[in-house]
Structure 1
Amino acid sequence: MTPPPPPRPDLAPDAHLERAEMEAMQREIAAAAVFEDDFSFDPATLGNPLGTASSGTETPLVAGVDQSFLTNEAGDQDRALSAVVAMRGGEVIERVHAVTSLEIPYVPGLLAFREGGPILAALEELSCDPDLLLFDGSGRIHFRQAGIATHVGVVLDVPSVGVAKSLLCGEPRGDTENLSPGTHVPIEANSRVDADEGTLLGYAVQTRQYDSPDRSINPLYVSPGHRVGPETAADAAAALATTYKLPEPVRLADSYADEAKREYTR
């Protein structure tokens, strides 16, 4: 069965564009993105393992997205393996992956043009329809406010959140060292971002921390991708992180990507 065309196929990542064209497309994507809550599910149910809220609302279906890479005989990365794990109320509903060729090298700020096509191919394999997509990557915390979570979210018109392990750009409004679990530190735009300085881009979110003065866990950098506000994005990442630092859908997608990769490298 052929999936329906995405709502914005004109903005799908195209690795054959020139760099200036890619950057122009990202600005168009940022203009099309909705960086506020615009969804039908109850976000309070995201961390509810029982599946429903007191209102009777069903827990939303959340899909985590991550990637691994395959190498050729010369040792060069030539294919991306995109993995998607869909979960509801702590239960895995579906796992899919897709392998596609890589057409351009990694360029900071243009990740979606390298990995967006493979991710879209994997999402087309899903038989379920996620209410929320979580990406191992940036959303609005991006030079042109259009990280991979924003790019894919806008193309598919699906609520999306970026969960990055490092800060691509922007400036924390406070210290991000050795934070207590549950702490959210706002990340605002600075001169490296295509936005008014001080614009709230997302949050540094501390999901887990060691109970030791000698070592610490860095926060996650969480930002809205599309149709999710910054506060809800941060709360969702925190609610979906169970016993590990990463939100469970993303963590399981990372694990599944490694598992699937082994099938291709035997």
Structure 2
Amino acid sequence: MHVSRPDLVPDASLERSEMETLQREIADAAVFEDALEFDPAVLGDPLVASTSEDDPPIVAGVDQSFLTNDAGDQDRALSAVVAVQGDEVIERVHAVTPLSIPYIPGLLSFREGAPIIDALEELSVEPDLLLFDGSGRIHFRQAGIATHMGVVLDVPSIGIAKSLLCGSPREDVENLPEGTRVPIEANSRVDAAEGTLLGYAVQTRQYDSPDRHINPLYVSPGHRVGPETAADVALATSSSYKLPDPVRLADSYADEAKRGLGE
């Protein structure tokens, strides 16, 4: 894949204040509305897909695993990418690269961004959409890893997070029925006007039992995708599991590739 904005590639050698300044530039460059080259309805509606004259879009899931040194410290990232077209996995690639900094909340892209770019450069296909295990606009500076990577590559992207980094749900998100979405709005922790729609808590799966429940995913636009479409895609690409299939497959492949390295 081609890096469209080399000036915005995450640099782990920057000071924290410089990283945060760069994230604000990323947010200013991001497009938080639909600018897709395909109809996202094809991902969830078999009738739309069957009547489309175009090939199904290529959706790539991106996830990470980590390798440790002899002292037990994480020192390398294994970045995994799985490209899916329709119901078929068409390519799987990964890259192993050194980690330069520890995990710092809000600065994930500076730890994992360069390894992800290395993995994406291994792809022979061009994804129409990237799904990241991480945040997009639901981020302190509206520039989570899905936004950062989406802008750098100028590819539509969505963040799929398992927990809420910042922002406030408009209503309770406990034990939601399957298919429910609850808006997440900016609060005082976000560099945006209070009440700005950042994304949605999306209930992709739920137990049919009053005694246990599944927590929602926190889905937000990364780049060139609006919040409603991001939520639609999360629901449309989740089959039998909580995580959307491309991200789930990338997670599984990361573990497989890690085992192949004897870790």
TM range (shorter): over 0.9
2:36 to 23, 36, 39: 39
Matched, 1:245 2:235: no
Match of 1:101 in 2: 98
Amino acid at match of 2:116: I
Match of 2:205 in 1: 208
Residue 96 (structure 1) shift: 0.1
Match of 2:224 in 1: 227
2:77 to 77, 80, 84: 80
Matched, 1:122 2:119: yes
* Partners of 1:141 and 1:147 within 8 A in 2: yes
1:17 to 14, 19, 41: 14
* Partners of 1:13 and 1:113 within 8 A in 2: yes
Per-residue Cα deviation, 1:81-113 (whole angstroms, up to 9, x for no partner)? 000000011110000000000000000000000
SS of alignment partner, residue 49 of structure 2: coil
SS of alignment partner, residue 149 of structure 2: helix
Amino acid at match of 1:168: L
Distance in 1, matches of 2:150 and 2:12, equals: 18
1:178 to 158, 168, 175: 175
Amino acid at match of 2:141: R
RMSD: 1.2
Residue 130 (structure 1) shift: 0.1
Distance in 2, matches of 1:257 and 1:86, equals: 13
* Partners of 1:51 and 1:88 within 8 A in 2: no
Residue 40 (structure 1) shift: 1.1
* Partners of 1:7 and 1:157 within 8 A in 2: yes
Matched, 1:257 2:254: yes
Residue 178 (structure 1) shift: 0.3
Q: TM-score, normalised by structure 2?
A: 0.98
* Partners of 2:43 and 2:49 within 8 A in 1: no
SS of alignment partner, residue 112 of structure 2: helix
Number of residue equivalences? 263
SS of alignment partner, residue 76 of structure 2: strand
Cα distance 1:80–1:50, how it changes in 2: closer, same or farther (>3 A)?
farther
Distance in 2, matches of 1:262 and 1:104, equals: 24
1:149 to 146, 149, 157: 146
Per-residue Cα deviation, 1:122-150 (whole angstroms, up to 9, x for no partner)? 00000000000000000000000000000
Distance in 2, matches of 1:30 and 1:189, equals: 14
1:158 to 155, 164, 167: 155
Structure 2: give runs of 5+ residues left out of the alignment: none
Match of 1:60 in 2: 57
* Partners of 1:82 and 1:118 within 8 A in 2: yes
* Partners of 2:171 and 2:182 within 8 A in 1: yes
Distance in 1, matches of 2:63 and 2:167, equals: 23
Per-residue Cα deviation, 1:40-77 (whole angstroms, up to 9, x for no partner)? 10101113569934232332100000000000000000
Amino acid at match of 2:173: T
Match of 1:193 in 2: 190
Amino acid at match of 1:172: P
Q: TM-score, normalised by structure 1?
A: 0.97
Distance in 1, matches of 2:215 and 2:58, equals: 28
The percent identity for this pair of structures is 78
Distance in 1, matches of 2:257 and 2:173, equals: 35
Amino acid at match of 2:243: L
